[in-house]
C-alpha cells in the first residue's frame, strides 16, 4: 500500500514552523514526513536554512507515529558519509517507525559556501557510490577500514548502530543516476514534472538495470512540486521561496542572492510554468493520481506550497488523501 508523505521545506520554513506543520500533517492523516537538507536556501529573501538532522531528532521525539526521511541529503563533502551513517542510525533509534535515508549528488548551495569545490557529475556520481558503500557497511555493524579514491575510514564503527532496516533511496533526474540507484540503493526517488518523461528517462532505465543485475523490482518514491493557488498573484507568493530552484544556474551557483537575481530576471510566468499548479482538490487529484496508478509508487510525497500552509495541510488530509487512497 502506498504511503503518503508530507514535504517539510527547510529552505522556506524555520524549524519551529516545520514542527508545527509536521504535527498538523500527522493529524491530517499523512503516513510520513520527508524533509529537505541544504546548507543554503534557494533565494536570500523569504527563506530559511535549518540543520535538518537536529530537526529530525525533534520530529522523532514529537511525532513518533510517522515514518521520517531525508529528501535529500548529500553525503559527499561537508558531511562525511560516516557521519551521515551515524546521524541516520541515531534517528532510527529515536523513532519507533522507519527512517528513510534519501541521498543525492546535490548542488553547490550545499558545498561551495563552505569552501568545497563542486565538480562535474561524473565525479559526484563516483563519490556517491563510494559514500553508499561506506554507509551500508557501517549500517551492517562492520568495523570499517576503507581506502577509496575520495574517502577513507580507519576502523570506523557505529557504536549506536541502527536497530531497524534503514532503506536508502537515491534521487535521480536522469538515466545515469537511476541506474546507480538500481545498483547501490534500495529505492529510487524522482521529482516528477511530466509523468511520461519521468517514466521513460528515469524509471524505465532503473528497472532495466535492476533486471540486468537480477535484483528484485526497485521501489519508487515520487514527488511533485505544486503551487496551490487561485490566482497568479497567490501562486507567485506561494512560490517565492522556491523560485531560485528553477534558475538556469541553480546547480552550480552557491549564493542564494545570485539565484534570486537570476530567477527574477525571467518573466514570472516562465518560472511558474516550471512547477505544477492547482486551484482545487480535483486538480490536485489529477496531478498526483498518476503517481499512484501509473508509477505504483511505494511512497508519494506531497510537495506543496500555498499562501496558507497550515490550512492547506488540513485540506489535503480531509479531501485529497482519501481520493488518492481509493
> Could you list the active site residues?
38, 107
Residue 237 grid cell? 507568493
Angle at 245 between CA 202 and CA 197, to 5 degrees: 25
- How far is 188 from 180, CA to CA, in rounded Å? 9
DSSP 9: -
* Residue with cell string 498573484: 233
Quick one: CA dihedral 42, 43, 44, 46, positive or negative? negative
Q: What is the DSSP letter of 262?
A: H
What does the longest C-alpha to C-alpha distance in the chain come to? 58
**Orientation of helix 121-139 relative to helix 175-184, angle to 10°:** 20
Amino acid at each position: 500500500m502506498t504511503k503518503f508523505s508530507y514535504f517539510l521545506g527547510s529552505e522556506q520554513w524555520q524549524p519551529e514552523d516545520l514542527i508545527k506543520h509536521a504535527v498538523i500533517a500527522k493529524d491530517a492523516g499523512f503516513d510520513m514526513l520527508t524533509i529537505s537538507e541544504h546548507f543554503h536556501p534557494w533565494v536570500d529573501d523569504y527563506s530559511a536554512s535549518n540543520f535538518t538532522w537536529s530537526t529530525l531528532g525533534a520530529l522523532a521525539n514529537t511525532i513518533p507515529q510517522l515514518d521520517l526521511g531525508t529528501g535529500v541529503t548529500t553525503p559527499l563533502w561537508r558531511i562525511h558519509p560516516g557521519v551521515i551513517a551515524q546521524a541516520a542510525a541515531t534517528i532510527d533509534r529515536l523513532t519507533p517507525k522507519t527512517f528513510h535515508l534519501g541521498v543525492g549528488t546535490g548542488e553547490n548551495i550545499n558545498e561551495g559556501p563552505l569552501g568545497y569545490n563542486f565538480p562535474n557529475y561524473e565525479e559526484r556520481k563516483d563519490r556517491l557510490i563510494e559514500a553508499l558503500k561506506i554507509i551500508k557497511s557501517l549500517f551492517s555493524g562492520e568495523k570499517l577500514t576503507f581506502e577509496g579514491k575520495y574517502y577513507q575510514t580507519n576502523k570506523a564503527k557505529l557504536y549506536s548502530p541502527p536497530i531497524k532496516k534503514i532503506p536508502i533511496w537515491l534521487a535521480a533526474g536522469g538515466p545515469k543516476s537511476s541506474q546507480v540507484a538500481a545498483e547501490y540503493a534500495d529505492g529510487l526517488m524522482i521529482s516528477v514534472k511530466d509523468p511520461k518523461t519521468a517514466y521513460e528517462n528515469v524509471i524505465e532505465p532503473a528497472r532495466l538495470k535492476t533486471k540486468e543485475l537480477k535484483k528484485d523490482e526497485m521501489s519508487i518514491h515520487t514527488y511533485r512540486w505544486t503551487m496551490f493557488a487561485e490566482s497568479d498573484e497567490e501562486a507567485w507568493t506561494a512560490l517565492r521561496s522556491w523560485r531560485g530552484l528553477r534558475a538556469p544556474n541553480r546547480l552550480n551557483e552557491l549564493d542564494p542572492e545570485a539565484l534570486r537575481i537570476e530567477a527574477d530576471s525571467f518573466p514570472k510566468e516562465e518560472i511558474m510554468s516550471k512547477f505544477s499548479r492547482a486551484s482545487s482538490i480535483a486538480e490536485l487529484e489529477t496531478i498526483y493520481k498518476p503517481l499512484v496508478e501509473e508509477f505504483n509508487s511505494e511512497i508519494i510525497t506531497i510537495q506543496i506550497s500555498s499562501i496558507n500552509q497550515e490550512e492547506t495541510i488540513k485540506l489535503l488530509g480531509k479531501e485529497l488523501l482519501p481520493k488518492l487512497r481509493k
